Structure 1
């Protein structure tokens, strides 16, 4: 994601969407000043002119994305954008012509801009899976969705501002529009040069001279893959709702306060810069609320998807779209109190309420769209990806056109019996219709992908309990059957495998655990669980046959070959049923090691499964996929592969562990004013006191020990001073060697020579009793009592009681210490020879 190729593509997409919307909304603003009495028609016309080229050029766009290198197509489109923006500025300068001619020139240029974007879009979308691995496609689409939506609303705001600043009719200070439009186009062309070159997907493809028929063929190709068709329709629904919301926000503000007079007033009022500002700029805060929500939703969708495409997020997004749209019906008619500034500051609850709901709508829309875009790109066949994405674009922009047309119809002016002219529906009522229409879409999604929906909701609910990290998921085959072979630690192991697998998995489970509850049994049936009970031989035979047939049919089957939950946390012996399942399938076995679950609530640690307090929340768990075992020969081979994977998992887990020195800082700060250490001679110390004394002792030892002195001896009995000496040396990133005071001086000196010890820390009272003759310089702890300055004590106090642990780590240089680094040296007793 940090490669120059991806960042260049991301920046190009952002600048393209930005310029599209700046120009479109500038033209809409100017057209409102040309025809102030037909605002809804101008909104529809601007949207239609921009998106109609997507429909007409769908086939040529797909052809270009497949026939040529996508980088070539992208750069050519960006170069064309510079020319089109120059034509757009020329059309604005001709605004003094008659209104029909001026509007025709403006909207024709908008159509040219739409044509450029239509040719650009499939090449851009098809580039993502070519330059990125499948594991990061969801994150990439989250970023693209974020960039596109930010650019869309930012472009709308800038376009509206330009319409205000250059009023009337864009003829005042036209250089502003020229500088922005052409400048953004040039910048986008420069960023497109960073896009990586890839060979054409289909260099022999013929140009579709029969464009309508080719579009039909592209649609038929898309329809032949039912999952892709459904996803494409979902993407089209997202953009249709987005277009409707964008147009509706314009009228929500226009009908809701001082902007109403400008929107519905006379042509002279509309031409006034002050009136234009009220009409075009008042909607900016609400649009920013919408885009902030989409940003959050896109980021959340990318994070929640992880390194896979997670369609289970889509129903949650659809639910949010429905609820927020329905609630927007409750926004009062007058959302602006007296002026925009007071309303945005909370002067009118309706304005704030509308902003909150639009933020929620945007968040839900981001959650809805990102997984769909990722799925469409990831699952499209490479050779036909351009055609499929072109067909998807055709559906998307058909939806946008329909949304614009429906909006114009719903906002038609009607004359009542009393002769008063009103709109057919208010913006609030249009949002209500949108919410009602989304409900059946939500129900259809839930019925269509119940497993993905349930799986994601369970994952989301379990995240406060388990913090799951997955490694080696690329070992899981994207297509074809395989047997997933995992160790068994807790009651939830099967559920965890279902949660982290990008493909559906049919788990082999012990029947008595699932048959006792009808709801659990229904869920098991929904996920295709294969039930087995060793006490029922016929069920065993049926289960093994079902699992074997599922693998032959290209499905994934999961099994715990130990035959039960481990009572020790270690991998137990394997049952022979696993080999019976693989027999004759030619499918590989995929080892899976569940690391870190021992000690959690649902493990057997402590001799019980459930009734124990969790050691920590969320509980860190790592799940490791190993390389496939092609046609395993016996149980021993599989078990050894699983054990080897467990070793790698354990090694990896230690990397995330804090070193003892950093852990001690946190433990002391957790018990800052509570009892932490004690011995019979030194008394008690709180956590804060222990940490402070260790830090002060570290400063004092640094004045005695050489900078390159790595190993330091400690000759003290088990006591608080001995403990603090070890901690102080660890804080200084030195290695302690605790010497055995029960051996002779000769044996101790042998240890000193082996470790290269130059200084030994001890006490006078202890040395007087033991009378050792050491071949090292002795440092007496008692001598430090009068050497600690006021600065030493003050700094130790501040670091212990006020400095955050993470900052103290950095001040002491402990972030450079790894958990596998040597902490201390321990010698053998020396009773049978030299230690």
Structure 2
């Protein structure tokens, strides 16, 4: 946790964080002030009902994301990003000056124009906001950086929403809103001056100013990498889920809790606190890596807490004088409702932060901003659909808790669909679960695994889950060379197939499989990836190392790459080892959270990678702890 907060002391992150925080604050300050003004004083401006005006405001703010995101993505790829951020902050100052004039003139049409312009400014900032992070942060800082951005954004939304509602309601509220919004815009520009240079990703790009054709082209970029595209769909689904919940808070607070505006603020506050908590916990739970295993974990929590919110919601309150907040809090069941909202927010953080980090890390750098622009368009589209579905179901007679139930069921179905399409999410969840329940994994020397380029990892073979433990520890994906019998085991075959394991058989059993395995290993190394080998060729049945076989020498002679010795410690005698009989014959023999360790030595040059020498290295790493 301290690792991610240290980013707030560094120039490569703090000015950007403050800039985006102040921008989100300002957006919600002005937007909510306008919503409150139109809700209670609509008759001053128009004969339209407050409900229509509020929905008009929401539509005007989100419309620019459809119109300008594709162009904004191109601009962000073509030009240096810190300069673009400063330009967008200058635009924000201009919009706030115009908004101040709108309040002075008491001109509704100009206020709405300013709301549209704020949406346009946010649409221009969006692709830069997420594309700049991978340029200023290291790979192991990406989760922490995204967590701070997401938690900061939701805190800014909360404070901005509260401040907008409070300031517009006091005497001279329009003047207070104008002054505060202009001050925030100026502070945002000042903080943007400190953002370090982020070179253009694609300076030769020719901008297509047609938003329709460019939007379609942007979607093609997002579809090039299937995992990235489905992650974008996952992010968009989260905004669908979140928008559906947030839009129901006023009605829920009034009809189910019997409260007033303070109860609405309470619901928004606990939800935002949950999002911030979940986002900040991501780095600790993921070990600083882009841990996809948290995504299914998050989706499970989003479903279960939403189901409990439906189940625990109080019956509708008969009309009458709204209760003060103290009485609302003393109502039976309200604290369970608040706990559910905190849970939804927390697991939402687990869900959203790794997905954003994955999109950033796996997108092609030359197209990253346009891919994020496509993400922003889909996010906006999903939120519009959420608003339409919510309105439609309520009009059809559904209660707000029943709407939460529908959302929970849909979330479960969407999650299952995405994980069926990309089994990597489910695989990472299983691996993450293993090293956070049955075992407690500690690593030593993990930095010796090369950050890029090909290498062969060699390790002792103690149990049936050795590969899963190495997957959990490795900062990069690894392909394992594995005995075909273990590869085909019913309970583990899913893990090994999804991870791209390479089955191998002795020459006497299946010589063609043996040759195919060596060919596949060579192709994988030539592609610059990692391959892991258990040179003993079998799982130990006495806790000691078996002699290393010569296959490792054949691999590095064909494809000369560094070899990284590793040793698993503490697994002998665990549930999945062969101590005192077959694996699983003594379930949870050591209980849960059994401490294990993966020790990694410096890479060995290919010329020195002889089986005997590598066995000495692995044995020394393992030491006396089997």
Q: Is this a same-fold pair by TM over 0.5?
A: yes
**Corresponding residue number in structure 1 for 2:370:** 387
1:321-360 equivalences in 2 (<5 Å): 321-330=302-311, 331-334=313-316, 339-349=323-333, 351-360=334-343
**Cα separation, 1, equivalents of 2:495 and 2:111:** 58
Q: 1:322 to 1:491 in 2, by over 3 A?
A: closer
Local SS of the residue matching 1:327: helix
1:664-691 Cα deviation digits (max 9, x unpaired): xxxxxxxxxxxxxxxxxxxxxxxxxxxx
Aligned to 2:101: 90
The answer for the alignment partner of 2:126 in structure 1 is 121
Task: Give the CA deviation at 1:540.
Answer: 6.3
Q: Tell me the residue number matched to 2:23.
A: 16
Question: Which of 477, 480, 483 does residue 456 from structure 2 map onto?
Answer: 483
Answer yes or no: is the 8 Å Cα contact 2:292–2:428 preserved in 1: no
1:139 to 132, 135, 144: 144
**Pairwise CA distance, 1:387:** 1.4
- How big is the shift at 1:128? 0.5
2: distance between equivalents of 1:294 and 1:334? 27
Q: Aligned to 1:619, what secondary structure does the other structure show?
A: strand
The question of 1:153 aligning with 2:191 is answered no
Match status 1:317 vs 2:289 = no
Q: 1:256 to 1:615 in 2, by over 3 A?
A: closer
Name the residue aligned to 2:536.
562
1:184 — aligned with what?
184
Match of 2:611 among 628, 635, 642: 635
8 Å CA contact retained: 1:310, 1:502: no
What's the TM-score once normalised by structure 2's chain length?
0.86
Q: Quick check: 1:561–1:575 contact (8 Å CA) kept in 2? A: yes
| In 2, Cα distance between equivalents of 1:240 and 1:386 | 22
Contact 1:569 1:598 in 2 (8 A): yes
1:82-111 residue CA offsets vs partner (Å, 9 max, x unmatched): 22223223323333xxxxxx4432221111
Distance 1:45 1:410, change over 3 A: farther
8 Å Cα contact 2:439/2:592 also seen in 1: no
Q: Aligned partners of 1:427 and 1:462: how far apart in 2? A: 39
Whether 2:33 is the aligned partner of 1:26: answer yes
User: How many angstroms apart in 2 are the aligned matches of 1:26 and 1:631?
Assistant: 70
Cα shift readout 1:575-624 (whole Å, capped 9, x = no counterpart): 11222344534555333333565686767899999879759954152442
Report the alpha carbon displacement of residue 58 of structure 1 after superposing the two structures with TM: 1.1
Matching residue of 1:301: 282
1:461-500 to structure 2, matched below 5 A, reads 461-470=434-443, 473=446, 476=449, 482-500=455-473
Q: C-alpha separation between the residues in 2 aligned to 1:512 and 1:200?
A: 50
Compute the displacement of 1:27 (Å): 1.0
Q: Is the partner of 1:347 in helix, strand or coil?
A: coil
CA RMSD of aligned residues (A): 3.5
Alpha-carbon contact 1:508-1:532 (below 8 Å) kept: yes
Change (3 A) 1:216 1:126: same
Secondary structure class of the residue paired with 1:538: coil
The total of aligned residue pairs comes to 606
Other-structure match for 1:404: 387
1:365 matched to 2:370: no
Aligned counterparts of 1:518 and 1:152: Cα–Cα separation in 2: 48
C-alpha separation in 2, matches of 1:300 and 1:19: 27
2:399 to 426, 432, 436: 426
- Residues 499 and 544 (structure 1), Cα distance of their counterparts in 2 relative to 1, 3 Å cut: farther
Shift of 1:298: 1.2
Tell me the distance in 1 between the aligned counterparts of 2:449 and 2:113.
Answer: 51
CA contact (8 A) 1:44 1:408 kept: no
* Pairs within 5 Å for 1:766-805: none
Q: In 2 relative to 1, CA 208–615 (structure 1 residues): closer, same or farther, beyond 3 Å?
A: closer
Q: Deviations over 1:86-141 (max 9, x none)?
A: 3223323333xxxxxx4432221111111111111211211100011112212211
**TM-fit CA distance, 1:43:** 3.6
Shift of residue 408 of structure 1?
A: 4.1
Who is 1:624 aligned against? 600
Contact in 2 for aligned 1:139/1:305 (Cα 8 Å): no
CA distance in 2, matches of 1:15, 1:600: 51
Q: Tell me the residue number matched to 2:239.
A: 239
Structure 1: gaps (5+ residues): 96-101, 167-171, 260-277, 413-422, 654-835
Whether the 8 Å CA contact 1:142–1:298 is kept in 2: the answer is yes
The alignment partner of 1:519 has SS state of: coil
Q: Following the alignment from structure 1 to structure 2, what is the Cα–Cα distance between the partners of residues 526 and 388?
A: 26
Tell me the SS of whatever aligns to 1:558.
strand
Shift of 1:4: 1.8
Distance 1:59 1:184, change over 3 A: same
Q: Secondary structure at the match of 2:480?
A: strand
Unmatched tracts of structure 2, length 5 or more = 1-6
1:66 corresponds, among 60, 66, 77, to: 77
Q: Where in structure 2 are the equivalents of 1:91-110 lying within 5 Å?
A: 91-95=102-106, 102-110=107-115
| Structure 1 counterpart of 2:508 | 537
User: Which residue in the other structure is 2:361 paired with?
Assistant: 378
Q: Is 1:79 paired with 2:106?
A: no
Name 1:548's counterpart in structure 2.
Answer: 519
Higher gyration radius (CA): 1
Cα separation, 2, equivalents of 1:72 and 1:125: 15
CA contact (8 A) 1:138 1:309 kept: yes
Cα 1:478/1:281, change in 2 over 3 Å: same
User: Does residue 68 of structure 2 align to residue 57 of structure 1?
Assistant: yes
Cα gap change, 1:453/1:335 in structure 2, threshold over 3 Å: closer, same or farther? farther
